[in-house]
Amino acid sequence: MLYPSKAQLRLWNRLGRSKIREEAGLFLAEGLKVVQALLESDWEVQALLTLEGGKEKRAAFLDRLPASLPCYGLTAGEWTGLTQDVSPEGIMAVGRIPPKPTLADMTAGADEGPLLLLHEIRNPGNLGALARSASWFGFSGMILGQGSVDPFNPKAIRASMGSLFSLPFVAGVNLQELIPMLKEEFLVAGSSARAGTLPHPCGGKAALLLGSESHGLPDSLLRMTDEQWHIPRKGAGESLSLPQAAAIMMYEIVREASPRG
């Protein structure tokens, strides 16, 4: 077990900021399952951090790590600045940000599964939740427009439960320009909180466009889509949360097209 230098601790603390992550090419991934997923991915792990005085579960995890991976023990005080969790599991990894896939890479993968297009998703918990569902439903990738939270945000990584390490994604894309191009090959469905058809299976290449929970999609983007999908309200509920509405649309878009009862 190694002990971190002050400079290391200072850097890790600053990885909460996207500018620093970009400069350093590093990000933080917290939690047993998240770190496990990172280790199983083809992403590079620079170091493993653990809260000293570990529980049995954590010790068993550490025993299985590759011997070549530097592993640092942090005090409770050092941990507090880094953790996202109220009851931390005491396991974190410093991962290296991989090369960005190109838009061409992303659209080429779309035979495997739909694309997820995201407009101004600012809540990192929601972004992580969307990635987790997209990964479950076999989406081939996630394209974020300008103004969304950075997927390497520690809270987004945490909420994705590690899905972001196997779901290709690219951020900062101009969706106004992308959507018309995509439409040449893809059916593009956009979520509308106001009106539209029920989500349904899409056999060929498809993309699902979602906006933020509070603002939804602007008309300028929604009118570009081939279809507007809407989940009708049946009760008194004031709103349906974004991750829940998204999960329903993802479930439907990849469902096999067959009449059901």
Binding residues for a second copy (CB under 8 A): 33, 37, 113, 129, 132-139, 161-163, 166-167, 198, 200-201, 231, 233-241, 243-248, 251, 254, 257, 259-261
Give the C-alpha separation, 139 to 180, whole Å. 20
- Between 33 and 96, name the residue whose CB sits nearer to a second copy: 33
Q: Which residues of 8-30 are buried (b: 16+ CB within 10 A; e: fewer)?
A: bbebbeebbeeeebeebebbbbb
- Between 99 and 261, name the residue whose CB sits nearer to a second copy: 261
Q: Whole-number minimum distance, CB 260 to a second copy, in Å?
A: 6
- Give which of 83, 85, 32, 79 is closest to 53, Cα–Cα: 79
- Between 35 and 221, name the residue whose CB sits nearer to a second copy: 35
Give the C-alpha separation, 20 to 13, whole Å. 10
DSSP secondary structure, 24-58, as one string: HTEEEEESHHHHHHHHHSSS-EEEEEEESS--HHH
Contact 197, 215 (CB under 8 A): no
Give the C-alpha separation, 161 to 31, whole Å. 8
- Between 54 and 125, name the residue whose CB sits nearer to a second copy: 125
Q: Whole-number minimum distance, CB 3 to a second copy, in Å?
A: 30
Q: Whole-number minimum distance, CB 135 to a second copy, in Å?
A: 3
- Between 94 and 167, name the residue whose CB sits nearer to a second copy: 167
Q: Whole-number minimum distance, CB 32 to a second copy, in Å?
A: 12
Q: Whole-number minimum distance, CB 176 to a second copy, in Å?
A: 28
- Between 141 and 145, name the residue whose CB sits nearer to a second copy: 141
Give the C-alpha separation, 231 to 189, whole Å. 13
- Between 99 and 203, name the residue whose CB sits nearer to a second copy: 203
Q: Whole-number minimum distance, CB 124 to a second copy, in Å?
A: 11
Burial class (CB in 10 A: 0-12, 13-18, 19+), 226: middle
Q: Whole-number minimum distance, CB 101 to a second copy, in Å?
A: 16
Give the C-alpha separation, 48 to 94, whole Å. 6
Residue 130 belongs to what H/E stretch? Answer: helix 124-136
- Give which of 82, 11, 6 is closest to 46, Cα–Cα: 11
